[in-house]
A = this chain, B = another copy of it.
């Protein structure tokens, strides 16, 4: 799609690469500054990924630490590791002061252990404590995605005192709209809206403005749980607490955008048997590693289906029309099963559906299977009848279609719920088992019925 220049800001990869090379070639510091002012660091990073290390180093050294921090926090893992090699621990720690803790923690998560330790050692104690706390949580947990730059105040302050503190802390926080109120043990007591603080008289105690916080998550819970709460209840912020309910951080709707993008694209990729790390611009070897294993697993199930067919070779050799008709039964079963599967998968992803609560809905899938199978079966049976002038062939494919669509509905509905119940990723595991079911049963039912009625078909 050709992008019209609908936004003020626009960016062209090739042009930026040209400008970058030129600036590096001429050692033009003002030019480097200008590029940084003109382009978003996300786009500069995209181009820097394709610049040779010596040139990259030369470019970075023309920028101040704040700009480097900006590039660093938007860079992908590989570029980050490349960039930090150019700086001493002392310099990096200074660069980190321009970044939010969550980003620094992400970065430290990739860094070789030795370097991580020495960086944490050199830091201010309070910073390294916060970072080590974040690092102690899985990167896919609530603690791993939370923001630690929020404002928390003690409940015994009044509005005037609170406002003074807020003005003091505000420039270094990510979240300013909601002020979290804690007791002396950092335990979350509630939240006060900045709007209320702005308009209330100075002597008002904060405790008069406090509102309950009905939702929070523990730091070691899965980020997907946090995302589902924010999505379902339309929350601006979700506090993250430790086992003692002391507030550690806050997850915002911005953090959740990242989480949702990850989880959803992982689902789509997983459903097709692609590793979650493959991107459209992954290189040949990455793509090969991402796709080959699943193809081999699929090959195994394809052979299972093929084995079922070969059990009926003598039947097929007598009525060769069966060979042409049988892929219709398995193909349509696969399609119907995928429909049920995708409805269930999107509901599981949203946290709407569980095996325990929703298994009775399987009745609907069975009825749908009967009904869809009947309609598709009648169509298919009629066409085959007119083609081969054998009513039994039509009846057999009708019956096989209905039965296989019932199986498809049950498998497409039940498999993802079962996998989810036993904490196996339903998007990865369900499709392959589903296809195995619909192929094996489809061939078996159709060719089995044909073998039983062989004398009517010949």
**Chain A interface residues toward B at CB < 8 A:** 1-3, 6-9, 40, 42, 74, 166-167, 170-171, 173, 176-177, 194-195, 198-199, 213-218, 221, 225, 229-234, 236, 252-254, 256-258, 260-261, 264-265, 267-269, 271-274, 278-281, 283-284, 287-288, 290-292, 294-296, 298-299, 302-303, 305-307, 309-310, 313-314, 316-317, 320-328, 330-332, 335-336, 338-339, 341-347, 349-350, 352-356, 358, 361, 364, 367-368, 371-372, 375-376, 379-380, 383, 420-421, 423, 435, 439, 443
A299 to B327, CA, bound (A): 11
Write 20 A-B pairs (CB below 8 A) sorted by A numbering.
A1-B421, A2-B354, A6-B225, A42-B234, A253-B254, A257-B257, A260-B264, A273-B338, A278-B343, A280-B358, A284-B368, A291-B336, A299-B328, A299-B380, A303-B383, A306-B328, A307-B324, A317-B317, A322-B323, A327-B443
Q: Contact between B331 and A321 (Cβ–Cβ < 8 Å)? A: no
A229 to B11, CA, bound (A): 13
Q: Contact between A284 and B367 (Cβ–Cβ < 8 Å)? A: yes
Report whether over half of chain A's contact residues are helix, strand or loop; otherwise say mixed.
helix
Closest 5 CB pairs of A and B: A272-B342, A280-B347, A310-B324, A309-B324, A264-B264
Q: Contact between A298 and B331 (Cβ–Cβ < 8 Å)? A: yes
A321 to B306, CA, bound (A): 10
A70 to B2, CA, bound (A): 42
16 more contacts with CB within 8 A, not counting A264-B265, A302-B328, A323-B323, are A1-B420, A1-B423, A2-B354, A171-B199, A230-B257, A260-B261, A260-B264, A274-B343, A284-B367, A288-B372, A296-B379, A298-B335, A299-B328, A302-B327, A306-B327, A309-B324
Chain B: minimal CB distance from A360 (Å): 11
Residues of chain B contacted by A326 (CB below 8 angstroms): 323
Chain B: minimal CB distance from A434 (Å): 11
Q: Contact between A288 and B368 (Cβ–Cβ < 8 Å)? A: yes
Q: Contact between B343 and A324 (Cβ–Cβ < 8 Å)? A: no
User: Among the listed B291, B313, B316, B353, which residue makes an inter-chain contact with A280, where contact means beta carbons less than 8 Å apart?
Assistant: B353
- Answer whether A295 and B336 are a contact pair too, CB < 8 Å, given A170-B199, A177-B177, A327-B305: yes
Q: Contact between B294 and A339 (Cβ–Cβ < 8 Å)? A: yes
- Answer whether A217 and B306 are a contact pair too, CB < 8 Å, given A199-B167, A291-B368, A342-B269: no
Max chain B C-beta neighbours (<10 A), residue from A173, A221, A274: A274
Max chain B C-beta neighbours (<10 A), residue from A195, A252, A307, A423: A195
Chain B: minimal CB distance from A76 (Å): 13
User: Among the listed B213, B264, B307, B339, which residue makes an inter-chain contact with A273, where contact means beta carbons less than 8 Å apart?
Assistant: B339
Residues of chain B contacted by A274 (CB below 8 angstroms): 339, 342-343
Q: Contact between B302 and A355 (Cβ–Cβ < 8 Å)? A: no
- Answer whether A295 and B176 are a contact pair too, CB < 8 Å, given A1-B421, A316-B320, A324-B306: no
Closest B residue, CB atoms, query A344: B280
User: Among the listed B236, B278, B372, which residue makes an inter-chain contact with A291, where contact means beta carbons less than 8 Å apart?
Assistant: B372
- Answer whether A268 and B342 are a contact pair too, CB < 8 Å, given A40-B214, A295-B372: yes
A339 to B289, CA, bound (A): 12
Q: Contact between A195 and B171 (Cβ–Cβ < 8 Å)? A: yes
A136 to B338, CA, bound (A): 38
Max chain B C-beta neighbours (<10 A), residue from A279, A346, A376: A346
Chain B: minimal CB distance from A216 (Å): 7
Q: Contact between B7 and A335 (Cβ–Cβ < 8 Å)? A: no
Residues of chain B contacted by A302 (CB below 8 angstroms): 327-328, 331-332
User: Among the listed B231, B291, B322, B339, which residue makes an inter-chain contact with A261, where contact means beta carbons less than 8 Å apart?
Assistant: B231
Q: Contact between B42 and A232 (Cβ–Cβ < 8 Å)? A: yes
A316 to B323, CA, bound (A): 8
Q: Contact between B176 and A288 (Cβ–Cβ < 8 Å)? A: no
Residues of chain B contacted by A328 (CB below 8 angstroms): 299, 302-303, 305-306
Residues of chain B contacted by A218 (CB below 8 angstroms): 6
Closest B residue, CB atoms, query A368: B287
Q: Contact between B268 and A271 (Cβ–Cβ < 8 Å)? A: yes
Max chain B C-beta neighbours (<10 A), residue from A8, A292, A335, A361: A335
Chain B: minimal CB distance from A233 (Å): 6
